[in-house]
Structure formats: structure tokens, C-alpha cells
Amino acid sequence: MSELTEKLIRDSFPDAVVETSDVFGTLNVKITPASLVGVCELLHENGFDYLADVTAIDWQDRIEVVYQLTALERNEKLALRVDLNRDKPEIDTVTPIWRGANYQEREVYDLMGVVFAGHPELRRILLPEDWEGYPLRKDYVIPD
Amino acid sequence: MSSRIRTELVEVNMGPQHPSTHGVLRLAVTLDGEVVVECHPDVGYLHRGIEKLAEMRSWIQFIPLTDRLDYLASMLGNAAYIYAVEKLGAIEVPERAEYIRIIMMELQRVASHLVFFGTMALDLGATTPFLYSFREREDVLDLFEMVCGARLTYNYFRPGGVSRDLPAGFAEKCKAYIKKQRSKLPEYDDLFTNNQIFIARTRNVGIISAEDAINYSLSGPSLRGSGVAYDVRTADPYSIYDRFDWHVITYPTGDVMSRFMVRVMEIRQSLNIIEQALDALPEGELKYKMPPRLKLPAGEVYHHIESARGDVGVYLVSDGGEKPYRLKWRAPSFINLGALNSMVKGWKVADIVAILGSLDVVLGEVDR
């Protein structure tokens, strides 16, 4: 099943796929940031109707955003990954495709400082609005 | 003439201290008369930075913190984390421990849904059902206390097992509880579910279509109340749920009533699972020893389970050390709350309480 999905992405966006891996049976596809919205629209049209999770990891040389998708009808899981420049992490929002991304992207922005371009209301959600810094970054200094 | 009457939109704050918000939640509501125009949840009052705290603790030390997210279903918080750790570390679990876990997880689901039943009734102005459901929940808490000494924050699951075996007499007491709970459920229905006022307040109120529910990433009973048969226990099987005879509950309408009924019917399903697990529980002592120091291989895993409120996902990244490099907690309450605005628009201000209640959010989990 996941071979078909990989082929679908590769056929439609030949330059988008950076690498693929298998994480405990789930296909993980790393794509270029510029192709994210296009790939997401393609996947959404092809059954991936459920955005389970959005999160980000600070690898200290880059920030990686990970999207966990599910195609409910055929019970297929897929993770999309993008590497962002740590000094200026910015990526297009997927909220127009999955409205469930709204809160999740706000959370990633709030705690990791990733800017989601085009997001309808990108502001802090868990922390106070005047909070400084992004706590889940590895170089964040915890205030006393 | 009436269209020329000048009306002004009014902003109203519900919360952060409000009995019907189930915790510390502020709703910034814009009203046109009594009709809701916008409703924006303001969350974060209970934010403790759980994900950052995880990076400073060993894999084992994080277990008690999982109790403090969804504090009405702590066993399931334990479970979500431990299953992820076991998957990443390829840790085997003895049969008996797996059966004990099933019993605990489903007892927890029942206890959590009982709280929902009581608070939903309370939200709509009926105080007695709350007393009924808390009376029965007390028995579940007694069972948990018997097993692990705690009534709310259990810290019971361990990588590779559970912290201790079932005490003598547990099975009998648990079976007596199941019998009692089953006999009480029709009483709940007589008192509340079939009550005309309750039906009028919930039927066809706050409808969300299956398509929208999926698009908003709703999960758990809130998604199944829109007719989507998505339950992680069957969709992405974990533990030994496939050994028991039970089925996923759905209701088609997507209104408050549907979400309510899903939970009420799930209580019965969970009782069936517990009963079967008690009967099939392997004999003998639980042989299990926790390693004093746990290291997980470098790598990552995303594992999810069906909690009482929905799809709890745990994303672990390990660098091979004794602590998580990164831990992300997918909190279904948080994501479900994201759909509230679209669900209450156009309804009366009094319906906000009913619709919010039907999402059954726990703020400890929303804010993390």
C-alpha cells in the first residue's frame, strides 16, 4: 500500500522527495519545504483525509517538522517530514487542507518557533502572548 | 421594520473560572443577542511544559508525569507512553501483565465515561445523575487503590509489565463491580438519557458532519458520534484487544446526543472486555523485573492508543541515552477543542455548555 503512495508522490512531484524511510512499518517521506502544500493537496485528494499530528524536532543544525497522516478508509499511515533552516524556520500552513492543523501549527509555533506562512491566526496558544523564546528549542534557557 | 433595529455584538467571557468548563478554560464569546457569532477558546492556564520536562528526566522518571495529563484517565496516559517505549525498545511483556493492563485500561475508560455522564448531566442542570455516576466510579477507584495504592495518579504501568501483580481477591471484587454497574445502567437511562428535557437540549444540537469531524482531526467518541467508525483499538491494533468479543460504537447524527450515547454504550463494551479478560487471565505469579536503568536505542517511534477522550499519540525520539531527546504528546482534548468554534456558531449561548460538555475535554491534557 505504501509503495503506491510513494510512487504517487514521486510521479507527481519528481523533485520533491529527499529521502524515504520505514519507521516501525510506517512510510516516512522527507520532502522539500517548497513542495509541502502541493504534496499535501495530492495526498488529501488520494484518501489521506486525517491529519493525526503535527510536531517539530530541534536537531540543533536544523528544525524538522513531522506530519502524521492517516487515510481512514484504507487504514494507511504516512509521515511527511521537512527540514527547515533553524535560523529562520518557515513553512506554508496546511490549515486550508486540514482545518485540524490550525491548533497544532499554533502549538508548534508557540513552543518551537516555526512560522507557518498563511496561517489564519498564528499566535501563541499555550504560553502567554508576551512570552519570550521557544521552550522546546535545545538552546532555550529556562528562566528561574 | 424589525430589520432596522440597531443591534450590537457583545463580547462575553466564559471562564477561566466557570463550573461548566471542566477546569481552567476561558471562552471568548461574541454574541448577537443570544446567538453565538464566534467562540474562541483560550487555553494554557495549566501549561506545565510536560514535553520539556520529559527531556530532563529518564525514561522511567517520566511515567508519573503521564498521570497528570488526562487526570481522569491516568491509566490510559500510562499506557500510551509505555506502549511507545516498549515499541522503541522492543521490550517483551508477559501474557499475564498484558491481561492486567487490558483490565486496567478498560476500567479506566468506564470510570472516565462515568465522570462524563455525571458532568454532562450537571452541565444541563440535572444534579442527581452526577451523584449516581460518581457513586459507581467510587467502586472503580477502590479497585485501582487495591491494585496500586492510588486513586487518581496510578503510576502503574512499567516498560515490560506493571508495577505489581493483582492482589488476592481482586477478580471477585471486580466481577461484583461489573454486575453492579450493569444493573445500574438502565437506572441511568430511566433517570437521564430518556428524560425529555435532556433530549430537547441535545438532539440535533451542535451537529458536526463526518466530513468536518475528520477534517478537524476529531477523535474518540467525539468522532464516532459523527458516524466515523475509527477506533485505534481496531484500526491500528495494540495490546490484545483482538482476543475479545466487542465492537466499536458509532452514532450517525453528529449531535450532542450522539456523542453522549457513544460514551454511554462504550461503558457496556468495556465491561464486556473486562469480564472476558478476567476469565482468560493466565494463572500464576507475574514474573517481571524492571531494569534499574533503561536505555532505548537511537531512533524514533510514533505510537497511539485509544484513550477515553480519543487518539492519544506519543512521539518519542531517542539519541540512545537514558532520557528522551524529544517527546511529543498528541492530546485529543486539545485538538477536539479546535473544532468548538465551528460547532457552536449559530447556537444559543446556553448550548455552548452542552456542546463543550459533549466534547469531554480535560484541561490537564489540553494544556500539558
CB-based contact A32:A39 (threshold 8 Å): no
Contact A53 B300 (CB under 8 A): no
CA–CA separation, B210 and B226 (whole Å) = 5
Strand partners for A14: none
**Residue ranges per domain, chain A?**
2-117
Sign of CA dihedral B161, B163, B168, B174: negative
B159-167 average pLDDT score = 88
Cβ of residue B142 closer than 8 Å to a chain A Cβ: no
Phi–psi pair at B190, nearest 5 degrees: -60, -45
Least confident of A2-11, B11-20, B188-197: B11-20
Contact B217 A52 (CB under 8 A): yes
C-alpha cell at B5: 433595529
Distance from CA of B18 to the nearest CA of A (A): 19
- ipTM for the predicted complex comes to 0.89
Please, which contacts does A62-67 make with residues 24 or more away whose CB atoms are closer than 8 Å? A62/A86, A63/A89, A63/A112, A63/A114, A65/A89, A65/A91, A65/A108, A65/A114, A66/B315, A67/A40, A67/A94
CB-based contact A77:A26 (threshold 8 Å): yes
C-alpha cell at B191: 433517570
- Compute CA distances B240 → B98, B112, B230, B244, whole Å: 7, 21, 18, 8
- For β-strands B161-162 and B299-306, DSSP reports them as unpaired
Predicted confidence (pLDDT) at residue B106 exceeds the cutoff of 60 = yes
Predicted confidence (pLDDT) at residue B311 exceeds the cutoff of 50 = yes
A with B: how many residue pairs have Cβ under 8 Å apart?
Answer: 88
Phi–psi pair at B26, nearest 5 degrees: -110, 135
CA–CA separation, B352 and B14 (whole Å) = 10
Chain A residue at shortest CA distance from B365: A126
Sort out which chain A residues have CB atoms less than 8 A from B302's CB and list them.
23-24, 26, 53, 68, 79
Sort out which chain B residues have CB atoms less than 8 A from A100's CB and list them.
215-218, 335, 338-339
Chain A residue at shortest CA distance from B236: A75
Residue B160 region by backbone torsions, left for phi larger than 0, else alpha for psi between -120 and 50, else beta: left
Predicted confidence (pLDDT) at residue B263 exceeds the cutoff of 60 = yes
pLDDT of residue B20: 65
Q: What is the pLDDT of residues A63-119, one digit of tens each?
A: 999 999 999 988 899 999 999 999 999 999 999 999 999 999 999 999 999 999 999
Confidence of residue B255 (pLDDT cuts 50, 70, 90): very high
CA–CA separation, B90 and B291 (whole Å) = 14
pLDDT of residue A1: 66
What is the average pLDDT score of chain B? 90
> Across chain A, which distance is largest between two alpha carbons, in Å?
52
Chain B residue at shortest CA distance from A51: B217
- Reported as half-sphere exposure (CB side, CA atoms, 13 A), residue B238 has a value of 26
CA–CA separation, A140 and B49 (whole Å) = 13
CA–CA separation, B27 and B14 (whole Å) = 5
Contact B330 A52 (CB under 8 A): yes
Q: What is the pLDDT of residues B11-56, one digit of tens each?
A: 888 878 765 667 788 899 999 888 999 999 989 888 999 999 999 9
Q: Of A26, A98, A135, which is closest to B217 when you measure between CB atoms?
A: A98
Least confident of A6-15, B81-90, B329-338: A6-15
Q: Of A98, A125, A135, which is closest to B43 when you measure between CB atoms?
A: A125
Q: What is the pLDDT of residues B235-253, one digit of tens each?
A: 989 989 999 999 999 999 9
CA–CA separation, B266 and B131 (whole Å) = 20
Of chain B, the percentage scoring pLDDT greater than 70 comes to 97
Cβ of residue B184 closer than 8 Å to a chain A Cβ: no
CA–CA separation, B135 and A112 (whole Å) = 44
Cβ of residue B138 closer than 8 Å to a chain A Cβ: no
Contact A126 B47 (CB under 8 A): yes
Our CA dihedral for A119, A125, A130, A134, rounded to 10 degrees, sits at -80
pLDDT of residue B1: 46
CA angle B132, B138, B142 (to 5 degrees): 160
Which residue did the predictor score with more confidence, B327 or B286?
B327
Contact A142 B52 (CB under 8 A): yes
Contact B302 A26 (CB under 8 A): yes
Please, which contacts does A59-62 make with residues 24 or more away whose CB atoms are closer than 8 Å? A59/A86, A60/A86, A60/A138, A60/A139, A61/A86, A62/A86
Which residue did the predictor score with more confidence, B160 or B259?
B259
Q: pTM for this structure?
A: 0.89
Q: Of B215, B217, B301, which is closest to A23 when you measure between CB atoms?
A: B301
What DSSP element (H or E) covers B295?
A: none
* Domains of chain B, first to last: 49-335 (1.10.645.10)
Contact B311 A126 (CB under 8 A): no
Contact B302 A57 (CB under 8 A): no
* Secondary structure letter of residue A136 according to DSSP: T
Considering the four listed CATH numbers 3.90.25.10, 3.40.1800.10, 3.30.460.80, 3.40.50.2300, the one that applies to the domain covering A2-117 is: 3.30.460.80
pLDDT of residue A6: 80
Whether a cis peptide bond, with omega within 30° of 0, leads into B297 is no
Distance from CA of B307 to the nearest CA of A (A): 14
Q: Of A58, A79, A126, which is closest to B302 when you measure between CB atoms?
A: A79
Q: What is the pLDDT of residues A12-48, one digit of tens each?
A: 888 888 888 888 889 999 999 999 999 999 999 999 9
Cβ of residue B235 closer than 8 Å to a chain A Cβ: yes
Confidence of residue A135 (pLDDT cuts 50, 70, 90): very high
pLDDT of residue B231: 92
- Interior/surface letters A52-80, b for 16+ CB within 10 angstroms, e for the rest: bbbbbbbeeeebbbbbbbbbbeeebbbbb
Nearest to B256 by CA among B338, B330, B340: B340
Predicted confidence (pLDDT) at residue B2 exceeds the cutoff of 60 = no
B56, B333, B335, B337, best to mutate vs chain A, most A CBs in 10 Å:
B335
Contact B216 A57 (CB under 8 A): no
CA–CA separation, B42 and B44 (whole Å) = 7
Residue with cell 517481571: B288
pLDDT of residue B92: 85
Which amino acid is it at B69? L
How many CB atoms neighbour CB B346 within 10 A? Answer: 12
Chain B residue at shortest CA distance from A141: B52
